[in-house]
Structure formats: structure tokens, C-alpha cells
Copies of this chain bind each other. A is one copy, B any other.
């Protein structure tokens, strides 16, 4: 492993950290910018994912669809009273072709209600593909695989 590989690893760490802080600060308008224009984004359950089922709580095949998603969320305004906090660990490169990388990472999302109640909202694994974009990286694919098959569908927020 040379310096270039180490630097790349840092850039990827940064990408994952930026993404999390964007969501937790409720800066959802800049969330689509983490993705390529022709990205694939999906939230699904481990059960569906392993069975190869294409279903998903959120399913988008372009950055524009992600923008629409955020517009809809802002209008519906149903998720305001909660906060979310993401913890991400164990980022791992599992494949690499040219400047296209496959990665996995674990996440835990804690939901904090207005009365102070804290619960585990979701846990699972990101199954990602990233592509270089200038001096940073973007998600060409992010599949959010939730360990739980029960998802509160009213709260279809990005993860």
C-alpha cells in the first residue's frame, strides 16, 4: 500500500463522514449531491435483498429522483419532530476496477423523539459503489440494507 492508496482511503472516510453529518444536520437539500447523476439508491430489508427482490422503501435511479424525494419530504413535513443520529463503522473496500470501488459499511441510526425518547431506528449495512469525481468521490450506487424487515413507512427519510 502506497501513499496514494492511503490518501484514497482518507477521502472515502471523509465521504462517509460528510454524508452522515449532512443527514443528521437535516441539510437534506445537499444530500443528492453525494450521488452521481445516474445513481442508484435504494432502501430495502435484508430479507428482500438476499432474496433478490427489487422492492424497496425508497427506490431511485437518478440524482433528480433523489431531489424529488427531498421536495416531497419537505412538503409533507411529517418527520420534523424527530432527530436522527447515524453511527457508521467498518468501512471496507470489497472490489475495485479502475476508479470504481465497491464498499460495504455498517450503520446504526438512533431516533430521538421530542420528548427525549431514544430508540434504535435502524441498523444494517450499506452496499455501495463509488466513483471518482474530480478530487472527491460520489456514490454511483448506495443500497441501504436494513436488518429489520419492519420499516416505519411513514418515515421514508434518507439513510
Contacts and interface: CB of A to CB of B under 8 A. Distances in A.
A124 interface: yes
Interface in A75-129: 83, 85-92, 104, 106, 108, 110, 112, 114-120, 122-125
What is the count of identical protomers in the complex? Answer: 3
Given A89-B88, A90-B88, A123-B118, A20 B150 contact: no
Contact of A123 (B21, B88, B110, B114): B110
A116 B2 CA distance: 43
A59 interface: no
A123 B149 CA distance: 24
A149 B116 contact: yes
A50 to B, nearest CB: 10
Interface of A: 1-3, 5-7, 9-11, 14, 16-18, 20-21, 24, 46, 83, 85-92, 104, 106, 108, 110, 112, 114-120, 122-125, 147-150
